[in-house]
Amino acid sequence: MANGAEYMRRELMIRLVRAFDDGTLEQELDQIPIKLRPKDGNSSRCCIYHDRAVLKYRLMALLGFSCEEEKDEARSLASYKQEADQRKSIEKKPVLTVCSAGCSGCPDSKFMVTENCRGCFARPCTFNCPVSAVSMIGQTSHIDQSKCIKCGKCMQVCPFHAIVKTSVPCEEACPVGAIRKNEHGRAEIDFEKCVFCGKCFAACPFSAIMEKSQILDVLNQLKKRESKVVAMIAPSAYSQFPGTIEQLFTAIKQLGFDDVMEVALGAELTTAHEAREFQEKMAAGQKLMTTSCCTAYVNLVHRHLPDFAKYVSSTPSPMKYAAELVRKESPDAITVFIGPCIAKRMEALYTDLVDYVLTFEELGAILAGRKIDIMTQEAWKLTHPADELARNYAHSCGVSDAVLADLMKDQPDFKLNSKFINGIDKKTLMQLKLFASGKIPVNFLEVMACNGGCINGPCSLTKN
Amino acid sequence: MKKITLEICCGTTCYMLGTQKLLQIENIMPEEWKNCVAVSAIPCLNNCTSENICGAPFVRINGEIMSHASVESIFNRIRELLPGEGEE
């Protein structure tokens, strides 16, 4: 756990699970903000009332509602819960929501001179500024904001580290410029541009960008038990929880899931198909093929670089293959993908194969809510453990390694000319264009939206 | 001297709310403490009742439960328990 925002998010989830199990959620929901911020107690923002308002919106998102769609400010959380209980499936709508009340409306990014400035004789700041925006006023350097082009040269050359950059963390983190300020100066996501990588969610120090959770939907499904509910665990789970993966599976089974499966089994199929597709495409004269398992990356291509889409592999993701395996055995099964990813929630909305997506945070909260200790569980007997290469999909380079190993089965001396984009950022679109130009000798490109791969996903518990 | 025991609760609630960070405490501990403090990860201590979730993460030092445990609060307690130790 890295910060107070995460603590609050997880604490609320655990409270929600406990109240759900006690059957008191509806009565308790509207009390939670007051209970957590009682009068005369401490507040994290200007006052307890502001804190309570933000907590209410957090709970709203936890119940699966978007703050932007709020019509009646006076509507109780209990009434939202009633609506959520009636929900049969998840609406095809963006899975992120911004809590305006929580957004601090950070001032626009700029370069500023701090009191570290010694008004030195050399004055590299004034000499290196390409637009003459830096001048000396008295014995201190000064930046004319109307001229500044935010190149950062002055900051780099100052020997006293006297120039700092203030930033808007969400805007800075967004690789595609999908965040802008609304007329009240609060952050707003442009969902036409958003690729759901979750970088803004992870970056906001006020935790104002939230996910619309499906935790209540899954809890309801597990309680109703109308059909078989199967948990599909992403390969990134192996380093996330205390205890072994086999113990984690037993713990998940105890939550009421009828079966637990490794998504790595789906990854094995992705590898085999992707290797074959690669051979076919190269034989047909295509120069480059990229991976397709990272949904945020695929979204990025479709929304921002449609011409590049022809290079993206058409092989379905491990999640889809895993869900297919489940449905082959039990066609009516309710499938719940559990992973560290926000973009997967979007992918699941547009396939019938996956019904719900939970994050590791939500899974942890359900286990914590029910006081299920992973370390003390018996080991689950995996009938067909996935191979190590498939389990390694969650690490950057994992997909390439698996595909290469598959290709080498037939041709032991096969050489893959591969490159990696390990974590997408504002430069990624440029990089992709460069790869498309054919100037870089590469035929296999692996792209992971998160630095280091899925193990560092926005909703992972342990960041590496 | 008998070693000071530091037991870190790895129940799921504590793990979610901070002990995963505390598990690395041995690596950041002053070198000279390493022979006097025995660190172990233990299953749920059952302190995370519904009223008390926000007390997590919990640790147990020489049998005494500490709530809201942080590296700093654990270090302070160890300092108090080490005989004849001043600042360091």
Kindly tell me if the per-residue pLDDT of B32 is higher than 90.
no
On whether the CB atoms of residues A300 and A195 are closer than 8 A, the answer is yes
On chain B, the residues whose CB falls within 8 A of the CB of A10 are: 16-17
Q: What class is the A218-456 domain?
A: alpha beta
Average pLDDT over residues A420-448: 92
Cα–Cα distance, A179 to A171 (Å, whole number): 6
A218-456: same fold as A4-102+173-212? no
Interface contact flag, B15 A18, Cβ < 8 Å: no
Average pLDDT over residues A84-111: 94
Q: Mean pLDDT over all residues of chain A?
A: 94
Average pLDDT over residues B69-88: 81
What's phi and psi for B47, nearest 5 deg? -95, -15
Kindly tell me if the per-residue pLDDT of B58 is higher than 80.
yes
- Give the confidence band of A137 by pLDDT, cuts at 50, 70, 90: very high
Given CATH 3.40.50.300, say whether it is the number of domain A110-166: no
- Give the confidence band of B87 by pLDDT, cuts at 50, 70, 90: very low
On whether the CB atoms of residues A403 and A432 are closer than 8 A, the answer is no
What's the pLDDT score for residue A79?
97
Longest pairwise C-alpha distance within chain A: 78
Domain boundaries, chain A: 4-102+173-212, 110-166, 218-456
On chain A, the residues whose CB falls within 8 A of the CB of B54 are: 11, 36
On chain A, the residues whose CB falls within 8 A of the CB of B50 are: 15, 18, 22
What tokens does A371 get?
A: 């006081």
For chain B, give the percent of residues with pLDDT over 70.
89
Interface contact flag, B15 A361, Cβ < 8 Å: no
Cα–Cα distance, A164 to A152 (Å, whole number): 9
- Give the confidence band of A1 by pLDDT, cuts at 50, 70, 90: very low
A359-417 pLDDT, tens digit per residue, is: 999 999 999 999 999 989 999 988 889 999 999 999 989 999 999 999 998 888 888 88
What's phi and psi for A64, nearest 5 deg? 100, 15
* Range of lowest pLDDT (A99-108, A111-120, A153-162, B26-35): B26-35
B40-51 pLDDT, tens digit per residue, is: 999 888 888 766
B40 touches chain A (CB under 8 A): no
A174-208 pLDDT, tens digit per residue, is: 999 999 999 999 999 999 999 999 999 999 999 99
SS3 letters across chain A: CCCHHHHHHHHHHHHHHHHHHHCCHHHHHCCHHHHHCCCCCCCCCCCHHHHHHHHHHHHHHHCCCCHHHCCCCCCCHHHHHHHHHHCCCCCCCCCEEECCCCCCCCCCCEEEECCCCCCCCCCHHHHHCCCCCEEEECCEEEECCCCCCCCCHHHHHCCCCCEEEECCHHHHHCCCCCEEECCCCCEEECCCCCCCCCHHHHHCCCCCEEECCCHHHHHHHHHHCCCCEEEEECHHHHHCCCCCHHHHHHHHHHCCCCEEEECHHHHHHHHHHHHHHHHHHHHCCCCCEECCCCHHHHHHHHHHCHHHHHHECCCCCHHHHHHHHHHHHCCCCEEEEEECCCHHHHHHHCCCCCCEEEEHHHHHHHHHHCCCCCCCCCCCCCCCCCCHHHHHHHCCCHHHHHHHHHHHHHCCCCCCCEEEEECCCCCHHHHHHHHHCCCCCCCEEEEECCCCCHHHCCCCCCCC
What tokens does B11 get?
A: 């129940």
Calculate the CA dihedral of residues B13, B16, B19, B20 and round it to 10 degrees. 140
Q: What class is the A4-102+173-212 domain?
A: alpha beta
Average pLDDT over residues A195-224: 95
Interface contact flag, B12 A373, Cβ < 8 Å: yes
B18 touches chain A (CB under 8 A): yes
What's the pLDDT score for residue A297?
97
Cα–Cα distance, A61 to A49 (Å, whole number): 19
Kindly tell me if the per-residue pLDDT of A12 is higher than 90.
yes
A25-80 pLDDT, tens digit per residue, is: 999 999 999 999 999 888 888 999 999 999 999 999 999 999 998 999 999 999 99
